[in-house]
Structure formats: C-alpha cells, structure tokens
Structure 1
C-alpha cells in the first residue's frame, strides 16, 4: 500500500516566527533543533537538514502544556506538545547530537504482539538460573512463554485531561523540576519519541519505532498519553489503569518486556511491580539504565 505523502514540517515556519503566531499559537521564546532529513539518511557534509523539534528557551511551569495543547492550531499544524526534562550532567541533551531520527524504522511496519513477544524472550531469565531474584521468581506467575497482551480497559476520564493533570502533578511534585515545552512533528503522541529520534532506551532497544508501536497500543487499550521525556526516561499518563492486582499482572509483564530496568532495578519481581506501579496507577514512568 502506498503511504500518503508526508505533510510539510510546520516547524520550518517557526524559524522566522518562533512564537508561532502565524500558526495561531502563542509560544514562549524558543529554539528550533535541526537534524538530518529523512529516515536512515546519514548526515553528510552539505546534506539538507530539517527541523526536528522546537524547545522553549526557559523552563515552563504548571499549566504550560495545557495552554499549548488547548490551541486547535497545534493539531492542524501536525505538531505534538510534550515536556522535556534535563538530566544532571546532560543539560540540554536534545542539542547534543543525541537525536537520531535516521536510525529509526517506521512504526507502521510493526505490530505490538510480535514486538512485545520478542522483547519478552530477550529479558526473561534462563530456567537454569533458579528461583531467586534473577530466576523464575522474577517473572512469576508467568513462565518463559510470552503471556500475551493484557485486556483493554475502558477509560473513566478523558485521556487528554488525564495527561494535562499528570503534567502539572509531575511539575508540582518535583519529578520534572525544570521542564521545557517542546513541539514535535508527529501524527500522534506515541510517535513523538520516534519522530524526534529519541534514543533513551538504546541500552535495551536501539530502534525507538518498536517502543512507539507498544505505546500506540497502550494509547488504544489504556488511554495512555506521552507527557514527558528525559534523556533516558519516558512518562505516560494513563486514563484507564488496571484496577485490580489480577488485571495488573499482564500489564506488568508488558512493562517488564518494554523496560526491564523498572523491575530489575526497582520492585524486583513482576508481581511486586504490578502491586506497586501498575494497579490503579495513572502514571507509568520508565527508565532505562
């Protein structure tokens, strides 16, 4: 099937209009971050560059993401608004040539079930390692076989409202102590990491499009939305988290396949992780070592 032609990158208009007034936006002062054009295209001398994202020059506060996403012009321009967070020692990581959109595949070429099945096969322990924290006890009540996708939940609140509420909570609680507002050309929020060439999970998976495939599915099954990214962190809001421990277990298995460090260096087992970080929890945070 022939894919539709790519829309013009609206960020090119912000180069001469950094506050986005021509697009119907009212942005704070910001900067365009350029990157190599096209997928899998290495940047050679003289090669054309295109805007990857727009980032506010200063940290933003409570309500900033909501004010931006409330503008209908944002979606009309094909832009997604998220927050970016510095990391100590890697301030302004988005300007340090850490973004590699050309190394990503296309999320449309992948399907969530085989992606998670392969992730799972790559992280479950070998049965010869026993029942300790690095053995079968880690993934109980599941075995080495992929347990399958968790069931879809019905959202009890609007996913967009849940995302904006979480953004403000993360700022108030100091989880995002100095976030920048960012605009990325992408058709949906789940596509943001791939569109900007984010490599935060490179120690687990170098092709961020595979992660986007999973987040797309979480958007549809749990009302998840991408709220913020750090150098190696991803924060999602969840409008329909599993309400019970039983319902949370298969979701926790998906999280382990997606980001094993959450369990390996966190709760210690899928069962404990389901209780602590999934059951009724409307913020799914991921960190890759």
Structure 2
C-alpha cells in the first residue's frame, strides 16, 4: 500500500481551524462526533471572527484516543486537549481567542517580575514570609530540568489517567500545545490575568525547560505533564516561585507557603493549576 492510500485528509470542518487552508494536513485517526466552536464576539479580547476557535467532541473520549491524535500532531497540526465538561465555558459564550503570534511578544521572565512587583507593593511581612526564601525579591525563571522521561510518552500516560474523569476531546490548530491556551480562547485565569498569551508564553518556556505538555483544560484549570521536573529541594523552590507567579492561588489551595508547595512538586511529573 503506497503513501497515497494511507493518507487521510482532515475530516469535517477541521480544515476551517487553519488560516492557511492550502497546506496539506492529514489525520488517520477516526474521531467521534463533534463540531467546531466559534468565538464569542463580545469579549474585550475580541478579534475579527474569521474561523472557529477549536473543535470539541460530543462525548467523553479515552486517553488512548488522545495519545493517537497527539502522535499525529506533526502531520495534522492539531493538538489534543482533554476538556472538563463540568462547566463548559464555550456553552456560556466565553471563548475569546487571541492571535498565537502575540505569544512571542511576552518574555516569561518579564511576566514573572511584573507579577512579583505588583504583589510586593501591597505585601505584608507575613505575605513575604510565605514566599521565603525569596520574599519580596523575584528570583526570575528557574534552571532547566533534566529529562527523566520521553515527553510524548509521559504525556500519553497522564492523558490515559486524566481521561478517566470522562472528558471531551478538544482539537486546537497550533504548532505546540502551549499555544492552545490563546488559540482556543481559554479564559480560565481571567481573575489573575485578562490575557492568555502571556500565560501561554510561560507554558512554552516550561515545554522547553521541563518537557511540559498541555494535557487538559477546564473552566479555570490547567493540567500539564512534566518530563523534567525539579528533583532537588533548591530547584523545586525556584520552580515553585514560577508557579506562584503563574497561578498565585497555589498557596491558598495547598500548604500555604512556597517551601511547602515546593515539596509537593519535587520529582512530580504532573502539574495542576486552578485559578479562583
């Protein structure tokens, strides 16, 4: 059987997700019933609506399907995301895509320093103690982690676990998983930052430094697999500082201090974020 017989063009409305429709893309994995989701025109992030934001399945899918679609990402241009159906933001008209090209305008380190500076202006002594050993002084991004797993294979394993929550499959037309946050119009961190692009820039950096991969999104949650997690206490505390700037709610949800949270993520291959 030659390559032409093996090729399967993108089915249904999936080609409409791409701005460059003339580029050949293929997907040999069979997809369940689903449809594209269009942006909500009323949000301040509103861009001229030219194409759907993403595709979503009608019913929950298996982690195995997620893994199969992820493996074909280089050929299809579609990154799979498990979507929590508990509270559908797209059903409430809360889909506000941002241009993926905007992500490159943000430096993760600068974003971290800006969050820290805004917080330090009103922080109390107790607040500073919670972020020990850094306190009022932002340490900047942490050093690169050492790969312990193949990022793709690890992502597949975590997707199989996450899919047990009966989540739908979302497909985003992006070159890398981090960009899905902006392309899909995700609004989960709106109470922390009104734009998804700077957060996507941070996740891009984590993809590069820690082998992170975007696995799932909820109304205000984000699930990542991490193939190169920090394994020493010192490194973990530094990474924890990045997590705090990315999602300050981590301290309220957990041990209450940066040092305590660092112990929770040290050596762990799964990072979960939830914004209040």
Measured against the shorter chain, the TM-score band is 0.7 to 0.9
- After superposition, the C-alpha distances for 1:202-237 in whole angstroms (9 at most, x for unaligned) are 000011100001000000000000000000000000
- With 23-32 and 206-215 compared, the bigger mean Cα shift is at 23-32
1:96–1:11 Cα change, 3 Å: farther
- Cα distance, 1:41 vs structure 2: 7.4
Is the Cα–Cα contact under 8 Å of residues 60 and 167 in structure 2 kept in the other structure? yes
Match of 2:137 in 1: 145
Match of 1:214 in 2: 202
> Within the alignment, does 1:281 sit opposite 2:268 as a pair?
yes
> Within the alignment, does 1:94 sit opposite 2:90 as a pair?
yes
Separation in 1 of the partners of 2:241 and 2:134?
8
- After superposition, the C-alpha distances for 1:103-150 in whole angstroms (9 at most, x for unaligned) are 9881011111101111222334745x233xxx2211001121211211
Provide the secondary structure at the position in 1 that maps to 2:155: helix
Match of 2:64 in 1: 63
Alignment of 1:133-212 (within 5 A): 135-172=127-164, 177-212=165-200
Separation in 2 of the partners of 1:124 and 1:104?
31
- Cα distance, 1:66 vs structure 2: 0.9
How many residue pairs end up in the alignment?
Answer: 258
- Cα distance, 1:245 vs structure 2: 1.3
Match of 2:34 among 30, 35, 45: 30
Is the Cα–Cα contact under 8 Å of residues 40 and 94 in structure 2 kept in the other structure? no
Stretches of structure 1 lacking an aligned partner (at least 5 in a row): 1-9
Q: TM-score, normalised by structure 1?
A: 0.81
Match of 2:113 in 1: 117
Match of 1:4 in 2: none
Separation in 2 of the partners of 1:14 and 1:246?
45
Q: TM-score, normalised by structure 2?
A: 0.85
CA RMSD of aligned residues (A): 2.6
Match of 1:259 in 2: 247
Match of 1:106 in 2: 102
Is the Cα–Cα contact under 8 Å of residues 40 and 104 in structure 1 kept in the other structure? no
Is the Cα–Cα contact under 8 Å of residues 259 and 288 in structure 1 kept in the other structure? yes
Is the Cα–Cα contact under 8 Å of residues 101 and 196 in structure 1 kept in the other structure? yes
Separation in 2 of the partners of 1:288 and 1:136?
21
Match of 1:5 in 2: none
Match of 2:217 in 1: 229
Is the Cα–Cα contact under 8 Å of residues 33 and 95 in structure 1 kept in the other structure? no
Separation in 2 of the partners of 1:66 and 1:271?
34
- Cα distance, 1:48 vs structure 2: 5.0
